Structure 1
Amino acid sequence: MSNRIKPEVLAPAGDFERLQAAVKYGADAVYLGATSFGMRANAGNFNEEELRAGVKFAHEHGVRVYLTCNILPTNEEADQLEEFLLRAADAGVDALIVADVGILMMARRLVPQIDIHISTQTGVVNYLTANELYKLGAKRVVLARELPLETIREIRRRTPADLEIECFVHGAMCMSFSGRCLLSNYLTGRDANRGECAQPCRWSYYLMEEKRPGQYFPIFEDEHGSYILNAKDMSMIDHIDDLVDAGITSLKIEGRAKSAYYVSVVTNAYRQAVDQYVADPENYHLAGWLAEEVYKVSHREYCTGFYYGRPDQCYLSGGYVRECDIVAVVDHCADGWLYGTQRNRFAVGDEVEILEPGQPPYKLTVAEIRNGEGESVPAAPHAMMAFSMPCPEGSFTQGTIIRKKKTD
């Protein structure tokens, strides 16, 4: 039990809105990308000015910022690396997430004040590699996603105590070895190692025999067909105690391309789960409402990744399940009324949930809606419209989420 520490909750921040969501809902740290050298081309990412503002905002709220620099750079990109690293230092980021030994060594020489985290793209699967990277100056290793808990426990036991260990605990699983995949590049010309993956592993496939063109034969797995490359999503919300006991320093939530709603809900769930564990580790039991929260965002079927064995495949086309929609965000409350900004349509009579950071969802039936002019209306149908509604039971802070269960 000597491995027990309070782990960091590390949340994704694809843009400034998602950064704010992560901070508001309890992240200890965020990881984000600039407009180059990162592995998520489809995320919003941060230009130089936005990066500086994002770091300032996070630091004002006691949250650390880790900048991705985890592509495998071409010669041309390597020529631009020095300027990138100096800009990162100027912005005040707390750590660089790197996968390439050349980037690692240049960063140690050029910006030694910034911590180095070794990306999961490096594929660290044993204590030997972790120790050598530590000797080269790494502060943290982000282990490959393919490791069981017992292997992680052994890595922790055989590495220096001040080498931090980070592991993914929630989100999408790549079918390849920690993202080293050429399938997207081969089929679509979009390079996964440049952050442009088209996710062809999520597609359904049929076989066509050479002499029977146009005849497609399914590879049967069940009544839905076969999705032999389509992994389920990972969720370890029910196993915080095992993660801590294995000596994991940082619990990483996947999803820089996910919505601010996703970031808010999942970050909040892991924040509360960690805090509940730390408060009473000997009698830890995850609150039921927290176990339900991760099902209220868009997700594939869940599994526990490789932590307890082999993960399962997702047999649904596309695979995504979405049980709830965000319908509004709170601006402020006053005199028994809630004032907010609409995100998706909702109407009088709908039952909604208000998710305040650190609190169980508060259920409320919408008794009345008024538009920005104070006129009573049957629904809030227009995106970003100002509205108000009675909320006599509570006062909620700015940015709090209002959602409702999908009915279609």
Structure 2
Amino acid sequence: MNKPEVLAPAGDMERLKYAIAYGADAVYLAGKHFGMRAASGNFSDEELRDGIAYAHERGVKIYVTVNISPRSPEFPELEEYLKKLYLYHADAIIVSDLGVIRVAKRIVPNMPLHISTQASILNYEAAQFWVDMGAERIVLARELTLKEIKTIRDHIPPEVEIECFVHGAMCISYSGRCLISNYTTGRDANHGACAQSCRWKYALMEEKRPGQYFPVDEDERGTYLYNSKDMCMIDHIPELIEAGVTSFKIEGRAKTAYYTAGITASYRRAIDAYFENPTPDFKVPEDIREEIGKISHREYFTGFYFGRDPKGQYYPDVMYIRDWEISGLFDSCDEDGNAVFVLKNRFFSGDTLELMQPGKPVYSFKVENMTNDDGEVLDAARSAMMRIHLKFPFQVSEFSILRKEKAANPIKKA
């Protein structure tokens, strides 16, 4: 039994570093073009080169998304881009368009190909087609059950890797191949510019009664009829491994460094805990489940892995569950525990905060004697991006995060 890969998202260099610090085996990201998340900061050519080198120095792989559906005029630029990725030593490119694959095999024939979830691979014949096209890994459609994944695993060569999403936002359309955004806003989801129109509030209007809006259900606000819950498979590590999933993919290139750190660390710890005690009755430690609940999310469910959820995929509003908020990001710390954090959200003297550190237990403490750069004692940290000095009984690790509870929110079991 091989330990599965923890594959984390990164929308920019900061999130790349947090993903690596908190336990990612590999990170997927995009350049400024040809990726499916234009809303993310993404990486310039120089940042791609430096980010890949940074990851490789720490034993982490980098997969670059080249998974849009390009138009013909884009191909000359695409060819030059692929050459750069090869020179930068990207570990693989994530692709879905047959034209892109054809160009990649001609321009960078030694570059490993991962077939994107955009290809909507739902059966073993489709999977084998992509293997015949040279794919080393296939990213399966989110709509598959564990049983169906196992069937695919049993029908393709054992050396071909299977990657599946295990956590994060779900798309209302087959594996992201959606036209709603394009129709409502002109923003092309298949070029990475999705406006997430599925998250909007909708009502019904009769053709001959313009301006009269009728709610689709009994709620006068309208209904979020396309809106979906978030996937969470933290309780089902053994089942995913048994089905043959070799890479556990976390959604969220447009999300924060806090999200990247917290979710990556949770799956890292859960997988490691299982391999320390790989029993049929394995249960994820409760503190890991609680940690998942402290990260911004919609209500969790298990996607399609166990068939259609009897409670449904539908999420009744657009609001996230955000009962914890990030208070500060690590700046520096000396050997005596004198730490400096950059403020993200205000907090006050006397508040109880939690300190997240890579590879270490969460540390809870009461804020006392915090100061600014001039050594002045503060009763509150209010100004965004100001530097806050705090004293700890240990040296605080790089990439540590301060957070504060807004309201209790235990994770709901998926």
TM-score normalised by length of structure 2: 0.94
Range moving further from structure 2, 323-332 or 52-61: 323-332
- Contact 2:94–2:116 (Cα < 8 Å) also in 1: yes
Which residue matches 1:357? 358
What do the CA deviations read for 1:303-324 (whole angstroms, capped 9, x no partner)?
A: 1111012253444431311111
1:398 paired with 2:395, answer: no
Name structure 1 gaps, 5 residues minimum: none
1:329 paired with 2:329, answer: yes
Which residue matches 1:187? 184
1:387 paired with 2:388, answer: yes
Which residue matches 2:286? 288
Structure 1 runs of 4+ aligned residues shifted over 6 Å read: 221-224
1:238 is paired with a residue of what secondary structure?
coil
The separation in 1 between residues aligned to 2:229 and 2:306, in whole angstroms, is: 14
1:237 is paired with a residue of what secondary structure?
coil
- Contact 1:7–1:251 (Cα < 8 Å) also in 2: yes
Picking from 158, 161, 173, the partner of 2:158 is: 161
- Contact 1:32–1:67 (Cα < 8 Å) also in 2: yes
- State how 1:9-408 maps to structure 2 within 5 Å: 9-220=6-217, 225-282=222-279, 284-311=282-309, 312-330=312-330, 331-392=332-393, 394-406=394-406
Change (3 A) 1:302 1:213: same
Matched residue type, 1:168? F
TM-score normalised by length of structure 1: 0.95
What do the CA deviations read for 1:264-296 (whole angstroms, capped 9, x no partner)?
A: 111011111111111111153211111111221
Pairwise CA distance, 1:358: 2.4
1:369 is paired with a residue of what secondary structure?
coil
Change (3 A) 1:199 1:336: closer
Matched residue type, 1:323? D
The separation in 1 between residues aligned to 2:250 and 2:67, in whole angstroms, is: 17
Pairwise CA distance, 1:136: 1.6
Range moving further from structure 2, 274-283 or 208-217: 208-217
- Contact 1:337–1:389 (Cα < 8 Å) also in 2: yes
Change (3 A) 1:347 1:34: same
What do the CA deviations read for 1:40-59 (whole angstroms, capped 9, x no partner)?
A: 11111111111000001011
- Contact 1:172–1:254 (Cα < 8 Å) also in 2: yes
The separation in 1 between residues aligned to 2:154 and 2:221, in whole angstroms, is: 44
Matched residue type, 2:375? G
Change (3 A) 1:224 1:358: farther
Pairwise CA distance, 1:93: 0.4
Pairwise CA distance, 1:405: 0.8
How many residues matched? 404
Change (3 A) 1:222 1:241: farther
The separation in 2 between residues aligned to 1:223 and 1:395, in whole angstroms, is: 54
Matched residue type, 2:124? Y
Change (3 A) 1:364 1:262: same
Matched residue type, 1:188? T
What do the CA deviations read for 1:171-201 (whole angstroms, capped 9, x no partner)?
A: 1100001111111111111111011111111
2:235 is paired with a residue of what secondary structure?
helix
The separation in 2 between residues aligned to 1:31 and 1:45, in whole angstroms, is: 11
- Contact 1:273–1:286 (Cα < 8 Å) also in 2: yes
Q: CA RMSD in A?
A: 1.6
Name structure 2 gaps, 5 residues minimum: 409-414
Pairwise CA distance, 1:219: 1.2
The separation in 2 between residues aligned to 1:214 and 1:222, in whole angstroms, is: 18
